[in-house]
């Protein structure tokens, strides 16, 4: 138990030292805003990377963000699948409608051809009727004479 207490106090001391070091390094960076001190930046970076608690918290944040982004992507994926399914259904309905229109067009074409044939037959019958009337009129004239 005392060993754990000693380890914790050593860790706390290291954290405090690291905090003080970080504060000093950041103050050095902020001294002159017009110039960049790469040495101070490198020292600050290496100090931050050595700090295990900071690295662990960054790692934990990364895991939390990954876990929280998965449900969002699953929701987005479900929504996209629903939209795709809906669009697919609409396309099937449109394809079915087009197929029905093609069938109707074929039927209408056939009816149109039949109507043209009937119109031709009527025209021929009118000619025959006209010829019969003329022949009838001639016969009436001959019979009156």
The Cα 67–Cα 112 span in angstroms is 67
Tell me what pLDDT residue 60 has: 76
Q: Tokens representing 100? A: 């029905």
Tell me what pLDDT residue 94 has: 92
Tell me what pLDDT residue 79 has: 82
Q: End-to-end CA distance of the chain: give it in Å, rounded.
A: 151
Buried b (16+ CB within 10 A) or exposed e, 71-91: eeeeeeeeeeeeeeeeeeeee
C-alpha to C-alpha distances, 65 to 48, 62, 73, nearest whole angstrom: 21, 5, 12
pLDDT tens, position by position, 1-55: 444 444 444 444 445 556 777 677 666 666 666 666 666 667 766 766 666 666 6
Tell me what pLDDT residue 77 has: 79
Q: What is the 3-state secondary structure (H, E, C) of 27-81?
A: HHHHCCCCCCCHHHHHHHHHHHHHCHHHHHHHHHHHHHHHHHHHHHHHHHHHHHH
Whether 26 and 44 have beta carbons less than 8 Å apart is answered as yes
Predicted model pTM = 0.39
pLDDT tens, position by position, 107-131: 999 999 999 999 999 999 999 999 9
Cβ neighbour number for residue 24 with a 10 Å cutoff:
14
The Cα 139–Cα 145 span in angstroms is 10
pLDDT tens, position by position, 52-105: 666 677 677 777 766 655 555 777 778 888 888 888 899 999 999 999 999 999
Cβ neighbour number for residue 126 with a 10 Å cutoff:
10
DSSP H/E element including 16: helix 2-30
């Amino acid at each position: 138990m005392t060993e754990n207490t000693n380890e914790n106090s050593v860790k706390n001391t290291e954290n405090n030292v690291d905090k003080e070091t970080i504060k000093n390094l950041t103050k050095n960076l902020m001294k002159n805003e017009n110039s960049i001190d790469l040495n101070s930046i490198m020292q600050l970076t290496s100090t931050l990377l050595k700090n295990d608690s900071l690295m662990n918290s960054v790692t934990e944040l990364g895991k939390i963000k990954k876990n929280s982004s998965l449900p969002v992507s699953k929701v987005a994926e479900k929504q996209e699948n629903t939209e795709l399914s809906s669009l697919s259904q609409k396309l099937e309905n449109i394809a079915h409608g087009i197929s029905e229109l093609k069938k109707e067009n074929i039927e209408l074409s056939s009816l149109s051809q039949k109507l043209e044939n009937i119109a031709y037959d009527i025209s021929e019958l009118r000619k025959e009727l006209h010829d019969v009337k003329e022949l009838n009129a001639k016969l009436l004239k001959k019979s009156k004479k």
